[in-house]
Amino acid sequence: MKKLPTSYHNILNNARAHQTKIIALIGPTASGKSELAVQIAKEFNGEIISADSRQIYRGLDIGSTRVPGKWQRVGSDPPKEGQTLQRFIYKTIPHHCLDFVSPEKTYTVAEFKKRAECAIKKIIGRGKTPIIVGGTGLWVDTLVYDMSLPEVPPNKRLRKNLSSKNMLELLAILKKLDPNRARNVDAQNPRRLIRAIEVARALGKVPLLKKQSPYRALWLGLNPPPNILDKRIRDRARKMIQKGIIKEAKKLLTQGVPRSRLQEFGFEYRAALDYIDQKITKDELYARLVRDTLRYAKRQMRWFKRNPEIHWITKLPVRSIKEFLNT
């Protein structure tokens, strides 16, 4: 094989040198991403950007299993232009892109990308390492690979027509329009099914147009052995009930969040509403949470396993991260 000229390698090295280094930590729900991310942030002077399509919403603390952080004021001086008065802090680590959107508002992946890009620039400006953490594969990929997602405004007429269809009918429509998206979408979530259909109708399919990413990413993936993940998911369901998923669902309803909107936030809230309506018992609520979380974790892993760049780990990979940050 013919050797590439030295100038070519210099071009590649210069391109890599100008890329912003970020760490992307992914994995299925209950894999331990959030706590490992905090360890990485403490060890390597980082800040965390959440890439989770539900943890962005206020009031969804228990159902989205958001880390129990607190909003804290930054400094005592009046904010300069573009500054934020408060940061979400968990175990001394700033977390970005969570707990800031009204649950009655729809927040798109394109909006997330803009906000996360801004957060990355500010984190780098503080001399720290951005750590992207999430289980929503599309959101992570869109940010890390700098994918171009054309804005598709809501189609009220289409949504009204689709609202009368059940989830199997919606999935069948999506399969015809975009088979790839149909394989990875949350098939139990009518909001996501309808949105995927809406985008596919407007653009032919869910667009993922890769550009030259400004980021150089170290991809880390957590995937515990099946028996351990199964136990964690069962513990997750038990704690969700103990912490008050029922009370949280009731509170959101009393705050004016429509029942139909609450159902769109995932199987946890749909199960909670069925319990509130006395359609299921508490034991059945627990069983449903376990069953649906296991299914969701499998869908997440199907998405992540398509990415050959992910290094699958079981503990904090200190050496790998040091090598990445120092080269």
**Closest-CA residue to 270 (of 287, 285, 290, 254):** 285
- Measure the CA–CA gap between 84 and 78, rounded to whole angstroms: 10
| Six token digits for residue 256 | 């004016």
Virtual torsion, Cα 190, 193, 199, 202, nearest 10 deg: -90
Q: What is the pLDDT along the chain (327 residues), one digit of tens a residue?
A: 344 444 434 434 544 556 899 999 999 999 999 999 999 999 999 999 999 999 999 999 999 999 999 999 876 555 454 455 689 999 999 999 999 999 999 898 989 999 999 999 999 999 999 999 999 999 999 999 988 766 777 888 898 889 888 889 999 999 988 887 787 777 777 877 888 898 888 876 555 545 568 899 999 999 999 999 999 999 999 999 999 999 999 999 999 999 999 999 999 999 999 999 999 999 999 999 999 999 999 999 999 999 999 999 999 999 999 999 998
Q: Are the C-beta atoms of 240 and 66 separated by less than 8 Å?
A: no
DSSP state of 249: H
Element (H, E) at 93: strand 93-96
pTM > 0.85 = no
**CA-CA distances (angstroms) from residue 142 to 59, 113, 116, 162?**
25, 7, 10, 27
Other beta carbons within 10 angstroms of residue 76's beta carbon come to 5
Which domains does the chain carry? 19-149+208-325 (3.40.50.300), 150-207 (1.10.20)
| 277 three-class SS | coil
